[in-house]
């Protein structure tokens, strides 16, 4: 067996015939004469030293050996196609990977929809996605650790970055339905809030060291990510601000209630959202595509 002369074309003919069920159907799909398809299969069988199809019946049937080899053939063809697509992408200046740092307050369903379309448009480009709160997306873009940052509640775009505003995200104050604050319909003022533990997401970014966003209570538990914050609030450890989309789901399920705070509007607090990139960084096609899609977001 001379494996060095193994032909991708013959493997492709083999996979098409196996899928379509007949040599004639395979020939139609491939746009070739049936005799050419039969010859390619015979040559591949000769090269591999096995019979791929049982031709004793009207329709060719994969042999046991043919069925086993087919899986390998498909895998080889997929890898070859991937190699070709990646080579074409590199020749066009396409990025290998695009890094995104996204504040967990940003609506997940919007991000997922964009990434679905991105995957279809750039199948060879990997995505490195991290959830980073407050000023951390800005810090990671400044350091060059990611190409795009989406920051919420942090209103500034520092020197060295450029960007644009996205629709604001509404945060609402919530507490577990079993919490004592949930048992009253009376408005809650800041003095009352200070006596109850507030759950907040810690800001790991050095740009805002010592600065708190939306902290009211004197008793505070800090967590590293939004999932932990939701879990603690849901289980009655304290109150906190959550994105309205998440809060509404929890309220509808009867797990949380929205607090009526004297110092905050009934409709919740609208938090600024910014998308930032480095001002001096050249943008590849995939990064630019993501920026264009994000810029087109008008509502959540």
User: pLDDT tens for residues 90-106?
Assistant: 776 789 899 999 999 99
Angstrom distances, CA of residue 121 to CA of 39, 43, 84: 37, 37, 16
Angstrom distances, CA of residue 154 to CA of 107, 244, 251, 278, 298: 16, 18, 27, 17, 20
DSSP, res 4: G
What is the average pLDDT across 43-50? 91
CA distance 264 to 243: 15
Residue 209 predicted with pLDDT over 70: no
Round the average pLDDT of the chain to a whole number and report it: 88
What is the average pLDDT across 105-129? 94
Please give the CATH topology (third level) of the domain spanning 97-166+273-295: D-Maltodextrin-Binding Protein; domain 2 (3.40.190)
The string of pLDDT tens digits covering residues 184-200 is 777 888 888 888 999 99
CA distance 255 to 24: 62
Here the tokens at position 78 are 């997929």
DSSP, res 168: E
Indicate if the alpha-carbon torsion angle 185, 188, 194, 200 is positive or negative: positive
pLDDT at residue 119 in the model: 96
Q: Report the range of poorest mean pLDDT among 39-43, 55-59, 207-211.
A: 207-211
Residue closest to 103 by CA, chosen among 135, 129, 142, 131 = 131
Q: What is the pTM of this model?
A: 0.67
Domain parsing of the chain, residue ranges: 3-91, 97-166+273-295, 169-270
Residue 9 predicted with pLDDT over 80: yes
Is 175 within 8 Å of 239 (Cβ atoms)? Answer: yes
CA distance 106 to 273: 8
CA angle 25, 26, 27 (to 5 degrees): 90
On the question of a common fold for 97-166+273-295 and 169-270, the answer reads yes
Residue 1 predicted with pLDDT over 70: no
Residue 254 predicted with pLDDT over 90: yes
The string of pLDDT tens digits covering residues 230-252 is 999 999 999 999 999 899 999 99
- Residue whose token pair is 């959550």: 242
Stated as kind and residue range, the H or E segment containing 138 is: helix 136-143
Residue 108 predicted with pLDDT over 70: yes
Residue 211 predicted with pLDDT over 60: no
The string of pLDDT tens digits covering residues 62-93 is 999 999 999 999 999 988 887 876 777 677 67
Please give the CATH topology (third level) of the domain spanning 3-91: Arc Repressor Mutant, subunit A (1.10.10)
Pick the CATH number of 169-270 from 3.90.120.10, 3.40.50.1260, 3.40.190.290, 3.40.630.30: 3.40.190.290
The string of pLDDT tens digits covering residues 141-169 is 999 999 999 998 666 777 788 889 999 99
Residue 256 predicted with pLDDT over 90: yes
Residue closest to 256 by CA, chosen among 266, 267, 246, 268 = 246
pLDDT at residue 210 in the model: 54
């Amino acid at each position: 067996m001379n494996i060095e002369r193994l032909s991708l074309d013959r493997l492709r003919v083999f996979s098409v015939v196996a899928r379509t069920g007949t040599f004639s159907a395979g020939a139609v799909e491939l746009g070739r004469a049936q005799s050419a398809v039969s010859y390619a299969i015979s040559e591949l069988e000769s090269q591999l030293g096995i019979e791929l199809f049982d031709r004793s019946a009207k329709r060719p049937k994969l042999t046991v050996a043919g069925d086993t080899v087919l899986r390998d053939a498909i895998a080889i063809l997929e890898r070859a196609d991937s190699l070709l697509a990646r080579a074409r992408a590199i020749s066009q200046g396409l990025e290998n990977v695009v890094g995104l740092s996204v504040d967990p307050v940003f609506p997940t369903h919007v991000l997922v929809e964009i990434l679905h379309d991105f995957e279809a448009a750039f199948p060879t480009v990997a995505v490195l996605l991290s959830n980073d709160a407050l000023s951390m997306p800005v810090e990671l873009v400044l350091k060059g650790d990611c190409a795009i940052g989406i920051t919420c509640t942090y209103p500034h775009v520092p020197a060295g970055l450029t960007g644009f505003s996205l629709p604001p995200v509404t945060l609402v104050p919530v507490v577990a339905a079993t919490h004592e604050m949930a048992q009253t319909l009376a408005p809650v003022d800041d003095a009352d809030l200070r006596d109850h533990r507030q759950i907040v997401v810690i800001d790991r970014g050095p740009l805002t060291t010592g600065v708190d966003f939306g902290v009211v209570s004197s008793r505070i538990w800090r967590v590293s990510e939004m999932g932990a914050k939701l879990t603690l609030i849901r289980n009655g450890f304290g109150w906190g601000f959550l994105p309205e989309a998440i809060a509404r789901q929890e309220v509808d399920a009867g797990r949380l209630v929205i607090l009526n705070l004297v110092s905050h509007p009934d409709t919740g607090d609208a938090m600024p959202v910014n998308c930032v990139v480095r001002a001096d960084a050249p943008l590849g096609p995939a990064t630019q595509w993501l920026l264009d899609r994000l810029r087109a977001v008008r509502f959540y």
